[in-house]
Structure 1
Amino acid sequence: MQYTLAHTITSGNIKVQLPSSKSISNRLLLLNALSYSPYEIKNLSDSDDTKAMLGVLNSNSTTFDVGAAGTSMRFLTAFLSKIVGEWVITGSSRMKERPIKTLVDALNQLGGKIEYIEKEGYPPLRIFGSNLEGGDLELPGNVSSQYISALLMIAPTIENGLRLTLTGEIISKPYLEMTLALMKDFGVESHWKGNTITVPEGNYQPKVVTAESDWSAASYWYEIAALNPELNINLQGLKKISLQGDSNVQKMFEHLGVKTKFSQKGTVLSNTGSKTRKFKYNFINEPDLAQTLAVTCCLLNIPFHFTGLQTLKIKETDRISALINELKKLGFVLNSNHVDDLSWEGDKCDHSTTEPIVIDTYKDHRMAMAFAPAAFQFSNLVIDDPMVITKSYPNYWQDIAMAGIQGLEK
């Protein structure tokens, strides 16, 4: 399926109820299970990833398919490794290309028994759940934070807890801080000194909890505010003091002309018209915002240089290559070392065409949502496989219709 995007420049005030954070929701689900909580989580995400997580935790089966839900794959691998029994966990064709060896090796080092069913180092996995023994463990700090969070969350429930030393540069640090903060809400204290995180053996305590709205989803509204100066956007459910590292989007977009005002009525975005001449940023802590910022900067004709993008190659797709390919269709020529950076120096190529410009989404929800606001400037824009957005923001297309972008099925 494809969406042809029709657009009108809309003015005035709009109010948007943002989805719940799937990062927080998935952590809360695992902590709820580990604490044997009788309480339901309030404002739980209705994203595909959270549904996959919930489906496994509520299932009586021994074989689970989490589809494209990377968070669920990592968190559940750790969880199932300590639940006595034999389990099989698999996913989509892309999931079978996403590495998981670092996490599997760590769990096996703690006494787990996990085997690869197909390709070494990748799902699907056969897990023989058993009692794990903790102690000292060492991991590179530049691996996916989901591996580390998965280990941290099960740490209190394994013998002797866990003393985890992260070597080298630590990336996506806010996600680890989020995990530890939520663990504290469930009664487990931790200690992070230097590169070592210590989690003692202990018991989680059940608690009534509410998931925050999603700052990552808010980023697309910042993009819309930057591209449409006539709109005032009121976002519902965000916390000014947030567990989410992506709340830093408000500071980034100050450089792109968007002001944020918090009140009891919501978070209001307005366009100041004041833009930087060049935008430089290290996304080491907020990699999920890189696509939004890259597309926005190009559409505003602001050259940029982004670093800290090393995890983008193992996301739903190789996001660095995907951005280069799709922005070229809009006439923007980007450069990268294809390891950890992406830049645009203002170089353009001919893109004048009356033919539809089809943006491939690569089964990646953030590609669809980051590129859709380009419809303000390109009247012949088409989004391929538009419903990938259900991974994190199921109501995205209905919501952005309020901003004047309408997806028409093709």
Structure 2
Amino acid sequence: MFREVMFVDLRIIGGERLEGVVSASPSKSYTHRAFIISTLAEGKSEILHPLISRDTLATIRACEALGAVIESKSEGVWHVSGSSYPKTPEDVINVDNSGTTIRIMTAVSALAPGFTVLTGDYSVRRRPMGPLIKSLEDLGVRCFSTRGDDRPPIIVEGGGIMGGETHIPGHISSQFISALLISCPLAKNETRVSFTSELRSRPYLEMTIEFLNYFEGKVEYLPGLGLIIPAEQTYLPASVRIPGDFSSASFMLAAAAITDSDVKVLNLDMKTAQGDKKIVNILKEMGAEVEIGENYVRVIGGQKLKGFSFDCGDTPDLLPVLAVLGAVAEGKTDIFNAQHVRYKESDRISAMAKELSKMGVRLEEKPDGLTVYGGKIKSAHVESYDDHRVFMALTIAALAAEGETIISGVESVDVSYPYFIEDMISMGADFRWVNKNDR
């Protein structure tokens, strides 16, 4: 399914007008949750229109390693036969580049007998796991980092989760909390989780609870305080439809706003729990012409955009595209409360600061975000750090630049939006492959 582009960069000619209609790719976050919870449900579940990408395939393989039978029945229809009693994996679970997979499946593998070993690529092996390891130990699970640094590879001794009380920071990753939310309903005793610091990325927790409800999972969320998770529950099979992804759509919408373009993105439902739907209001506040309809968002560019101030605490995945929007807006843009963005596939704060600087953008890197001073973007040769969201953000910046921009790391886009480049070309973007050996 995925293109072989390991020796290819992307060349983008700026100044092109985009026009057309595309459909938002299915939500990566919801897809992960649907397959994992289905794996623990007693019976056959149906998942409609999931995202099939490098990250979600990692989750599918991990679920199969724990005993789920997963089949693609027809276009956009997948069946998952699961069980409350996952089996011991026959081999190491390699999650590739997916931080969501390793964090949630670390907790889920505690429900299987025997030992489970989880690892991933270089980026995943740098991801912090300490808070989740400690919480699982509080709840009666023995697990540890093979290198003793609270980073993968991780070994989990299964046999079940006892439950009890645990305290976990909320500022590093909501994935730790989602891992407990999904696994602890099957614990032997009630689980109480309290937060020791401000909860960031809260919408992702709400997305997890939303999908737990579809499978009859019961949790009590006490905003600002923590969670109460009843014990010995049974997930029931369900049929769930994966909504469109505002995280991925944000790049299309922003591309229209910063160029003289007219782009309509279908398959976007403003009623979902996704925090990244805030991109729509941000664009409106900046002065873009935005139309919100039944299951779509349309952006018409050409207006002068003004700088803004934005708290990224609940929407970390928006930081790269917000930095680009700030680079073309009049005045100053402040993006803050985003320390947790440094622990993604790359340190996205540092990556965007370095690469936009190459493109002539004046900005200041701060511990928790960026201050960006709007102006003109110039063409350059930039690096995406093998981070799909950095890559897509720099692609959008290149559309607003004068001349030719070359971006390395194009292979990363398959993590979350495999058809991003094709969709952009379909709307008129001038994208061309460049062999690295020819430069």
The bucket for the TM-score relative to the shorter chain is: over 0.9
- Code of the residue aligned with 1:399 in structure 2: it is D
- Note the C-alpha offset of 1:19: 1.1
- Note the C-alpha offset of 1:102: 0.9
Question: What SS does the corresponding residue of 2:324 show, helix, strand or coil?
Answer: helix
Q: Distance in 2 between matches of 1:361 and 1:345?
A: 21
Count, aligned residues: 401
- Note the C-alpha offset of 1:301: 4.0
Could you say which residue in structure 2 is the equivalent of 1:391?
Answer: 415
The one of 248, 251, 275 equivalent to 2:278 is: 248
Counterpart check, 1:35 vs 2:41 = yes
Query: Residues 169-188 of structure 1 correspond to what in structure 2 (within 5 A)?
Result: 169-188=198-217
Q: Distance in 2 between matches of 1:302 and 1:25?
A: 38
The one of 363, 367, 382 equivalent to 2:386 is: 363
- Code of the residue aligned with 1:214 in structure 2: it is D
Q: Distance in 1 between matches of 2:373 and 2:237?
A: 52
CA contact (8 A) 2:25 2:249 kept: no
Could you say which residue in structure 2 is the equivalent of 1:340?
Answer: 368
Question: What SS does the corresponding residue of 2:163 show, helix, strand or coil?
Answer: strand
Could you say which residue in structure 2 is the equivalent of 1:270?
Answer: 300
CA contact (8 A) 1:62 1:86 kept: no
Please give the root-mean-square deviation of Cα atoms over the aligned residues, in Å: 1.9
Q: Distance in 2 between matches of 1:317 and 1:233?
A: 29
Question: What SS does the corresponding residue of 1:41 show, helix, strand or coil?
Answer: strand
Question: What SS does the corresponding residue of 2:172 show, helix, strand or coil?
Answer: coil
Could you say which residue in structure 2 is the equivalent of 1:144?
Answer: 173
Q: Distance in 2 between matches of 1:225 and 1:151?
A: 39
Q: Structure 1 pair 265/290, CA: closer, same or farther in 2 (3 Å)?
A: closer
Unaligned stretches of 5+ residues in structure 1: none
Could you say which residue in structure 1 is the equivalent of 2:75?
Answer: none
Counterpart check, 1:3 vs 2:10 = yes
1:64-116: CA deviations, max 9, x gaps?
11111100010111111121122111111121111111111111221112132
CA contact (8 A) 1:334 1:347 kept: no
Query: Residues 93-172 of structure 1 correspond to what in structure 2 (within 5 A)?
Result: 93-172=122-201
CA contact (8 A) 2:269 2:296 kept: no
- Note the C-alpha offset of 1:396: 0.5
Q: Distance in 2 between matches of 1:162 and 1:208?
A: 27
Counterpart check, 1:57 vs 2:63 = yes
Q: Structure 1 pair 135/228, CA: closer, same or farther in 2 (3 Å)?
A: same
1:207-262: CA deviations, max 9, x gaps?
10111110001110121111223x32221211120121111111111122334333
Question: What SS does the corresponding residue of 1:39 show, helix, strand or coil?
Answer: strand
CA contact (8 A) 1:18 1:214 kept: yes
Unaligned stretches of 5+ residues in structure 2: 1-7, 66-88, 435-439
Could you say which residue in structure 2 is the equivalent of 1:20?
Answer: 26
Q: Structure 1 pair 259/343, CA: closer, same or farther in 2 (3 Å)?
A: same
Q: Distance in 2 between matches of 1:110 and 1:182?
A: 23
CA contact (8 A) 1:100 1:122 kept: yes
Q: Structure 1 pair 346/372, CA: closer, same or farther in 2 (3 Å)?
A: closer
Counterpart check, 1:91 vs 2:120 = yes
Could you say which residue in structure 2 is the equivalent of 1:189?
Answer: 218
Could you say which residue in structure 2 is the equivalent of 1:215?
Answer: 246
Normalised to the residue count of structure 2, the TM-score between the two structures is 0.87
The one of 229, 235, 238 equivalent to 1:199 is: 229
CA contact (8 A) 2:361 2:373 kept: no
Question: What SS does the corresponding residue of 1:249 show, helix, strand or coil?
Answer: helix
Question: What SS does the corresponding residue of 1:122 show, helix, strand or coil?
Answer: coil
Q: Distance in 1 between matches of 2:130 and 2:277?
A: 30
Q: Distance in 1 between matches of 2:340 and 2:152?
A: 18
- Note the C-alpha offset of 1:178: 1.2
**Any runs of at least 4 consecutive aligned residues in structure 1 with deviations exceeding 4 A, and if so which?**
none
